[in-house]
Amino acid sequence: MKHVLITGGAGFIGSNFIHYLLRIEPGIHVINLDALTYAGSLENLKDVADDPRYTFVQGDICDTEFVGELLKKYEVDTVVHFAAESHVDRSILGPRQFIETNIMGTFSLLEAARKFWLQEKSLPLENVRFHHVSTDEVFGSLAPGEPAWTEETPYAPNSPYAASKASSDHLVRSYGHTYGLPFTMTNCSNNYGPYQFPEKLIPLIILNALDGKPLPVYGDGQQIRDWLHVEDHCEAIHLVLKKGSIGSTYNIGGENQPANLTIVETICEILDEISANDNHKPHKNLIEFVKDRPGHDRRYDMDTHKISGELGWRPRHTLTEGLLNTVNWYLSHPEWVSAIRQKQEYKGWLDANYKSR
């Protein structure tokens, strides 16, 4: 990896991965392509903006010609594709954008890479890689007692978001099989950590609790998820890029499966302990059960034996440690929180999603 194009690098996971790459790969050049939609913010990358190894480009991944020009200009040898619409609730209220970004955007990137790497043969084929970042939600939902998903589990997406990601996964595989495009893919579980846009469960609960606002919990709160700290995710992707087998898919999970209600209660307990001069203790009194999400998947669980056995990866963060670190990060970055909350689109979204529940 010398010249790496990161799509969606101003978002939550993408920005964390850029920080990780610049820290661990001193000779790298990172090109961050981001459309700066609601969830992308250059606030996430202020501390690397002046690094000569980092270049930001604002643009749309659906513009194949534009992407192709970037690949040529910077002689890109590696694409790491994070850019996606990723919130299930948003996909239920407005699925079209998910189809356009997640399916057509991935198609556009694949076409640009195929032309630059395979047709024009601009770089040695053994030196290029298209890495696609996907989700565990493509596998559907597990019943109690069912074994965890492996890389061989058939896809059964249940939301417009999951269906759009499943479609993009199939496209990537097809380009590998049909055209010989060198690719790897990872399917990750629920991420959490620094810079996460506060529409997602963990930052939403942290910030609402600090403000004494209701802590919305869907249904009975017993939905099971596997929680992966974003730093562990970044380390796993880097390892796959360096050592993963071409054409292979790897599951990445945090190796824990608490109920959503347990996550919310744990955050409340952390805030009770570390928040000084807080008039909202005990924070669990703010929990409010709301109408469940339509078609809400009940349980996710990832089998990570493949990446552990082949590449030696295991998550470093325990959930308790990771949640404590995450709470402390939001408490210590009030300027970032303030900048994100001022986005009108964020305020409108909270009203649209929660006021009617």
- Give the Cβ contact number of residue 195 at 10 Å: 23
- Give the Cβ contact number of residue 339 at 10 Å: 14
Q: Are residues 20 and 235 in contact, defined by beta-carbon separation less than 8 angstroms?
A: yes
State the residue for tokens 């001193």: 26
273 is catalytic: no
> Which one is catalytic: 34, 77, 136, 232?
136
330 is catalytic: no
Please give the pLDDT value at position 129. Answer: 98
Q: How far apart are CA 229 and CA 324, in angstroms?
A: 11
The model's pTM is 0.95
Q: Which residues pair with 305 in a beta bridge?
A: none
Q: What is the pLDDT along the chain (357 residues), one digit of tens a residue?
A: 999 999 999 999 999 999 999 999 999 999 999 999 888 999 999 999 999 999 999 999 999 999 999 999 999 999 999 999 988 888 998 999 999 999 999 999 999 999 999 999 999 999 999 999 999 999 999 999 999 999 999 999 999 999 999 999 999 999 999 999 999 999 999 999 999 998 899 999 999 999 999 999 999 999 999 999 999 999 999 999 999 999 999 999 999 999 999 999 999 999 999 987 788 999 999 999 999 988 899 999 999 999 999 999 999 999 999 999 999 999 999 999 998 887 756 667 677 777 767
> Which one is catalytic: 54, 161, 195, 300?
161
> Which one is catalytic: 77, 89, 137, 199?
137
Domains and CATH numbers, the chain: 3-197+227-255+296-319 (3.40.50.720)
Burial pattern 72-108, b for ≥16 Cβ within 10 A else e, equals eebebbbbbbbbbbbbbbbbbeebeebbebbbbbbbb
161 is catalytic: yes
| Cα–Cα distance list, 194 to 14, 67, 176, 203, 330 (Å) | 11, 28, 33, 9, 7
* Alpha-helical runs (H) found in 123-229: 160-179, 201-211
State the residue for tokens 């009770």: 272
Please give the pLDDT value at position 346. Answer: 67
Radius of gyration of the chain (CA): 20
